[in-house]
Structure 1
Amino acid sequence: MSIIPDITHGADDIVLPFHVDELDLRGRVVRLGHSVTTMIDRHGYPPEVSRLLAEATALTMLLASGLKFDGRLILQTQTDGPVRMLVVDVSTPDKVRALARFDESRLEAARLVGDNDPARLLGKGQLVMTIDQGQDMQRYQGIVALEGQGLEEAAHQYFQQSEQIDTRVRLAAAEEVVPGENGPHRAWRAGGMMVQHLPEAGSHIHRDLPPGDAPEGTTTPDPDDAWLEARALADTVEDDELVDRTLSPERLLYRLFHERGVRVMDAMRVHEHCTCNRDRIEKIVQSFTAEERRDMVENGAITVTCEYCSTSYKFAPSEFDPVE
């Protein structure tokens, strides 16, 4: 029976990789707290939008944490639903920022009829995954048609189309009341788990070998049966288990896979971080024509506000177009 050290108990904003060798299974668990709360509170998103953005952030971190290079992974939805756009931008390995756009009137109409189904709030359109390895490398894009399904099902379609790897994804988000110095306040949590069937050549040839740290007498399943078992176990995960701060990712994995033997790797931290800065914004403003910059002047200044972190940058027009 495998013993898993409970190293992440009570920890948020982490990604924990794991292996279940007897099932040829690799996976990751993500837990987000302060990072998603910060992004949501900064914009004051309604609960329905907050939930979708939190789930999208969890999904993007599950995907980005598996990349083996320094770069960016961007998830973006563009749809005809009340929540018309979600964007999550991860700079590997650990920095994330996110934003949402929505139609308040259509969101209110959905509330009036009690329709808060995330899939219908997204509507129809597309989900785009962009992987950017830097200036010298070509960008990769994977596109999934959104036709009334949620983010979990869209992730499954992405892996079927783009990676052709048996993959199961579970996502959840929840709002909670937590104590604070100034009294109780509301915060958001998001969690997710991804499992992938990655059999190695010859991994099931020597059936007479002991099955690692699995219980004595455990037999190694056939590859197809191994994936069926892994998928069935992953589907038993409840939403509250993915976001429960009292249930560490290690304990969750032990509940699921202890009969086969599960190993966890080093946890990776996640940080809410925007990549904007004054020099970068200045270059963007400089790229406009002088006439366009004149149209941008309000109250004697050019003001640019970052959509992600809401930081405002002010420039004097003379910084770009000296007065003659």
Structure 2
Amino acid sequence: MLANSDDRILPFQVEGLDVRGRVVRLGPSIDTVLARHDYPAPVSKVLGEAVALTVLLGSSLKLDGRFQLQTRSDGPIDMLVVDFEAPDRVRAYARFDKERLEAANGAPTGELLGKGHLAMTIDPGAEMSRYQGVVPLDGAGLEDAAHEYFKQSEQIPTRVRLAVAEAFGSGEHAWRAGGILVQFLPEAGESVRDLPGGDVPEGITPPADDEDAWTEAKSLVETVEDHELIDPTIASEELLYRLFHERGVRVFQQQEVRHSCRCSDERILGMLKSFTDEEKRSMIDDDGQINVTCEFCSTKYTVSPSEIGIETN
């Protein structure tokens, strides 16, 4: 019996094509991220794509690593920030112009983001150096930006598909997101388990060379439809079997994903204490307190000026 795919990352390998990849399916985790902010539907869709992409990329890090995706652009949605903290924690938020968003009237992701740049920051932890790759946003979507990132920074042939939708039923609605990433990595090998039918059948001839192998793998991924990435009744294993069973697909152990913010009373106090006394005083509201709202999870914190060394009369 196939496992529930919600809020799971499923790594896989197709030995017959020399490719590896991951499938991510987000249910309650992405709905929680988006519900915390009550974004307009177009913003939720774009941020959902960014979260799915970040989880696909960040889930390859070691246990103490962090991966951040951030956009700065001139479109109605002028900033996205998504943090993935290995092995399983994700948080995100978006900034947008309400009037410009309404005027865009259902424009695709690329137009909503506009022109600018997308930065991907990798912090592998363990006192290792951080790495940042930056690619332009030129009116195309996040899939195209990801392809450009791997072309420039990693030089690994990569194909990404992302999908986000709002599911309705029984008077309720919830957001779902999904994605698949495939990379051409010859001589990849690791201890894995076969999906049913995972061996290359008799009579199937492996691709003649690397170019043919990657062309075939990429073409197969391009047949993935949006509903296959977000439908809870289609398990990740089923999708992979449909795509690659003729070549032999194997899967690794699934990894979980959950929404989790890093904010806390201690972190908020630490952040406020880093400001000058003049800056601290300027933050005091009419109620005599300093009120802070976490951009990622919308949690509200109330801090007394005396807690950060400011005395008021």
- Report the TM-score, using the length of structure 1 for normalisation: 0.90
Deviations 1:75-125 (A, max 9, x none): 0111100011111101011000000000001011111xxx42111111000
Question: Which residue is 1:31 aligned to?
Answer: 25
Shift of 1:289: 1.3
Between the aligned partners of 2:199 and 2:241, the Cα distance in structure 1 is 13
Mapping of residues 55-70 of structure 1, within 5 Å: 55-70=49-64
Question: Which residue is 1:264 aligned to?
Answer: 251
Shift of 1:321: 2.2
Between the aligned partners of 2:243 and 2:311, the Cα distance in structure 1 is 69
Where does structure 2 lack aligned partners over 5 or more consecutive residues? 189-197
Shift of 1:168: 0.5
RMSD of equivalent CA atoms? 1.7
Shift of 1:149: 0.7
Are 1:125 and 2:116 counterparts?
yes
Deviations 1:248-278 (A, max 9, x none): 1110111110111111111100000000111
Shift of 1:320: 2.2
Question: Which residue is 2:84 aligned to?
Answer: 90
Between the aligned partners of 2:267 and 2:20, the Cα distance in structure 1 is 38
Bigger mean CA deviation after superposition, 60-69 or 121-130: 60-69
SS in 2 for 1:38: helix
Question: Which residue is 1:209 aligned to?
Answer: none
SS in 2 for 1:309: coil
Bigger mean CA deviation after superposition, 127-136 or 298-307: 127-136
Instruction: Report the count of equivalent residues.
Output: 302
Question: Which residue is 2:307 aligned to?
Answer: 319
Between the aligned partners of 1:146 and 1:291, the Cα distance in structure 2 is 38
Please identify runs of 4+ aligned residues in structure 1 that moved more than 6 A. Answer: none
Question: Which residue is 2:295 aligned to?
Answer: 307
In structure 2, give the amino acid aligned to 1:59: L
Shift of 1:186: 1.3
SS in 1 for 2:179: strand
Between the aligned partners of 2:15 and 2:124, the Cα distance in structure 1 is 30
Question: Which residue is 1:213 aligned to?
Answer: 199
Sort the Cα spacing of 1:189 and 1:281 in 2 relative to 1 into closer, same or farther, 3 A.
Answer: same
Are 1:295 and 2:282 counterparts?
yes
Mapping of residues 143-182 of structure 1, within 5 Å: 143-179=134-170
Between the aligned partners of 2:265 and 2:102, the Cα distance in structure 1 is 37
SS in 2 for 1:43: coil
Are 1:273 and 2:223 counterparts?
no
Between the aligned partners of 1:215 and 1:295, the Cα distance in structure 2 is 71
Between the aligned partners of 2:311 and 2:134, the Cα distance in structure 1 is 48
Aligned-pair identity (%): 58
Are 1:248 and 2:214 counterparts?
no
Between the aligned partners of 1:78 and 1:303, the Cα distance in structure 2 is 27
In structure 1, give the amino acid aligned to 2:25: R
Shift of 1:307: 0.5
Where does structure 1 lack aligned partners over 5 or more consecutive residues? 202-211
Please say if residues 64 and 126 of structure 2, whose CA atoms lie closer than 8 Å, have aligned partners that are also in contact: no
Between the aligned partners of 2:204 and 2:126, the Cα distance in structure 1 is 50
Sort the Cα spacing of 1:22 and 1:294 in 2 relative to 1 into closer, same or farther, 3 A.
Answer: same
In structure 2, give the amino acid aligned to 1:15: I
Between the aligned partners of 1:22 and 1:163, the Cα distance in structure 2 is 23
Between the aligned partners of 1:255 and 1:110, the Cα distance in structure 2 is 37
Indicate the structure whose relative CO is greater, using CA pairs within 8 Å and at least 6 residues apart.
1
Are 1:193 and 2:170 counterparts?
no
Question: Which residue is 1:206 aligned to?
Answer: none
In structure 2, give the amino acid aligned to 1:313: Y
Sort the Cα spacing of 1:135 and 1:295 in 2 relative to 1 into closer, same or farther, 3 A.
Answer: farther
Question: Which residue is 1:208 aligned to?
Answer: none
Question: Which residue is 1:138 aligned to?
Answer: 129
- Report the TM-score, using the length of structure 2 for normalisation: 0.93
Between the aligned partners of 1:312 and 1:87, the Cα distance in structure 2 is 19
Between the aligned partners of 1:323 and 1:128, the Cα distance in structure 2 is 41
SS in 1 for 2:233: coil
Between the aligned partners of 1:133 and 1:253, the Cα distance in structure 2 is 29
Shift of 1:137: 2.8
Question: Which residue is 2:270 aligned to?
Answer: 283
